[in-house]
Chain A
Amino acid sequence: MADFQAERHVKYFLRCLKTFLPSVYTPNDSNRMLLAYLCVSGLDLLGVLESKTTLEERKGYINWVYHCQLPSGGFRAFTGTDFGVENRTADNAGWDPANVPATFFALVLLLILGDDLARVKRTECLRWLPRVQRQDGSFGEVLGPQGEIGGGRDLRFCCFAAGTRYILRGTRGDIDTDIPDINVDRLASFIQACQTYDGGLSDTPLGEAHSGLTYCGIGALTFLYRTHSDQSHPIPKLLSPGTPEFESLVRWLVSRQTSELGEEESDDDEEEDEDENDETHALRLNIQGLTLDDKIFGLHALEPCRSIQWAGFNGRCNKLADTCYSFWNMATLLMLDRLALVDVELNRRYLLEKTQHIVGGFGKGVGETPDPLHSYFGMVSLAFQGEAGLQNTDPALCISSRAVERLQSLEWW
């Protein structure tokens, strides 16, 4: 059994943090706030953020995050859209907008770095949020040049809008009553309408169920109802054990665990086998006059499963395992208090023996090169199952419990 290579992962994340990412990352330029969060939070999860970076460096990082804050509230996702405060007018502000996911990542990044959010334009940001919400309850990504909502209808935006509201509204109820809130009930209905016929959630109503988006939907609901005390918003069925909504979601999530890893050596054989099977079945079925019973009688009996050594998770039905889906599915199950229903040991072996990379970090699939996203989510998945050397991690905020404590120490919490 391979071990968790903590030291190598520290080296990997330090390299990502302190040296330039190669130019092939240019298509990720607009995701710099996300990349920044992954690298810094990765080191925090490994428990070395304070020992491997100096106070000065952390102050510098905090300043960079604030450098991305817009005068009108919220954060941009990268500095590339910033054409300077001196050039900013009402007419062109739409080309340098606050970005919903980036705002959430900026806030958690500040918490991880030890900041007290004192420089966050809290009321401006809270005023901006309802303006990015659509009539149907969903959220967009940005406000465009005429204040119109840009970006697709997508549960990702719903999740990060709800997360931003959660962090900034807090629990003290100190928000001025003239600051409009988002429409919580409409958002919750939109999310529930995204549940598909097989139990998972899709990006929008009509789509195919997908683990990443299921995480976003349940994450958003968790943010909305976690600190919830008044009875005016009933707890959605998706969060209520025993309802068909909840139980079919759980079934869908546990069904994502798979031993189909897409390994090169065995892949070809398997596919050939499958094709052959399909073909033989097809031939058999083409024989005229066979009854349904005859056809089923002609099928092979299944062999009981041989012992399985590795099992990761896929993100959709009939897809292969992928490191990040260990996170998306397990985090969702953890939010539903149903993590115990999957085989965490097989998942651990999959991550440690199949996608953990020799130079540190995790790749997307078996034998693939590491990247910050899969490295971070691979580690968080292991943190959920108590891997030694990793900090406890909150599944919704997706930060260490140390950073969660910092959030709870803020004056509006």
Chain B
Amino acid sequence: MTGKYASDPEWASIEPIPLNDGSDSGALPLATIAYTDDYIEATSYLRAVMAANEMSDRALKLTEDIISMNPAHYTVWIYRAKILFALKKDLKEEFEWLNRVSLKYLKNYQIWQHREVIVSCRDQFPTLPDRELDFLMEMFAQDSKNYHVWKYRHWLVRHFKLWDLPREIEDVEALLKADVRNNSAWNHRFVLRFGPRGDDEPDAGMPNGGAMGADKGRLAVADEDVIDAELQYAQAKILLAPENRSPWSYARGVLRAAGRPLSEWKDFASKFVTEKKKHDAEDGEDEIEVEVKSSHAVEWLADVLAEQVSGSETDKSEAVKMLTLLKEKYDPIRKNYWDYRIKMLDSFAVPYGVSASA
């Protein structure tokens, strides 16, 4: 080989281990890639230092080179972390490098896993690293719904107990101001407001996430002021874009966390679904026409009515009316689903909120 490692005296002591794709043992390699010479050489040296379990500066530099060509290499990241700890490296420098790599490979998953491993070192990062939240906002400027970055941010909130740090909710509000349809930001808001906080609590997505049935998603103790404020916040955002599903879902989650029924919003949802008299010029008769300002409000009403179906026939016919509006006019893509919901009215009441006795 005549590549940069073969010609570098620093690497003279290493005998590279070439790729063994099995061709010598009767294998016909699958998913072969036209590797560049640089990648072939660098990975040969990586195998050699890994086989020797070498913890050195040159190996650390080599991992950088590999990551620049293949950031999804799953053992090179573990190896890199091990070297950093073995050589007691300053992890702040690692951070600077990571930021550059993260901005280059936006879709990569291992980078964020590695960041978590690094920031987990309590002795070097006893508190939230400086500018960490600024960097995450820089990432969100590239893609405000980046799943890996949000996952990391959730971890950060739990690790450093940031639920009530003003900056957290400010960032969420800024992102929702920029795009009220950003469901990732809505989800993070839910984590900040209702995510489990105790060290002994299971790491659950909803309050009481490990529980089943009616208790699932329900807070042990609900702060009614927080609940009311969040419901108002969701309403204000719904007015900006009534067809945006995110705040409607958020409100369901909030009510569920509080153990309050969906019917609490029946009045609010009804305001989006109004009946109007319309004069038909042809037959001269007045007709009742339903005017809809949000299909999600119609769905909400259908759910409330469905929960009450065991009660009265009027509720049932009203529920059918709502579901038919969705099926025929406002959400025909899901016509089969709305039919399924109509059929279910006859079989059993499905608890779409928390009020039912599941």
Contacts and interface: CB of A to CB of B under 8 A. Distances in A.
Given A23-B35, A26-B39, A83-B48, A317 B183 contact: yes
Nearest to B17: A83
Interface in A2-44: 16-17, 20-23, 25-33, 35-36, 39-40
Contact of B205 (A196, A248, A311): A196
Interface of B: 17, 19-22, 25-36, 39, 43, 47-48, 50-53, 69-75, 78-79, 82, 105, 109, 113, 116, 145, 147, 150-151, 154, 158, 180-184, 187, 190-191, 195, 202-206, 209-210, 212-214, 216-217, 235-236, 239-246, 249-250, 252-253, 256-257, 268, 271-272, 291-295, 328-337, 340, 348, 350-352, 356, 358
Interface residues of A, number: 112
Question: What are the 9 closest A-B residue pairs judged by CB atoms, nearest first?
Answer: A60-B28, A197-B253, A67-B22, A36-B30, A35-B31, A64-B27, A304-B329, A205-B205, A95-B50
Contact of A80 (B53, B73, B328, B352): B73
Nearest to A200: B249
27 contacts: A21-B33, A29-B35, A31-B72, A61-B27, A61-B30, A66-B27, A80-B47, A82-B47, A83-B47, A83-B50, A144-B78, A145-B82, A193-B202, A193-B205, A193-B209, A196-B253, A197-B205, A204-B151, A206-B154, A206-B203, A207-B151, A207-B154, A244-B216, A254-B334, A302-B293, A305-B333, A308-B333
Contacts of B340: 338, 341
B206 A27 contact: no
A301 B293 contact: yes
Given A81-B75, A205-B206, A317-B246, 7 more contacts: A20-B33, A22-B34, A30-B74, A61-B27, A278-B180, A295-B239, A343-B336
A184 interface: no
A31 to B, nearest CB: 7
A342 interface: yes
A318 to B, nearest CB: 4
Interface stretch (A84-92, A162-170, A355-363): A84-92
Contact of B73 (A29, A144, A237, A296): A29
Contacts of A27: 69-72, 105
Contacts of A26: 33, 35-36, 39, 69-70
A194 B210 CA distance: 9
B148 to A, nearest CB: 9
A77 B29 CA distance: 13
Interface of A: 16-17, 20-23, 25-33, 35-36, 39-40, 57, 59-61, 63-68, 77, 79-84, 87-88, 91-92, 94-97, 99, 136, 141-142, 144-145, 150-152, 189, 192-198, 202-210, 237, 242-245, 247-248, 250-251, 254-255, 257-259, 274, 277-278, 281-282, 285, 292-293, 295-296, 299-302, 304-305, 308, 311, 316-319, 338, 340-343, 346
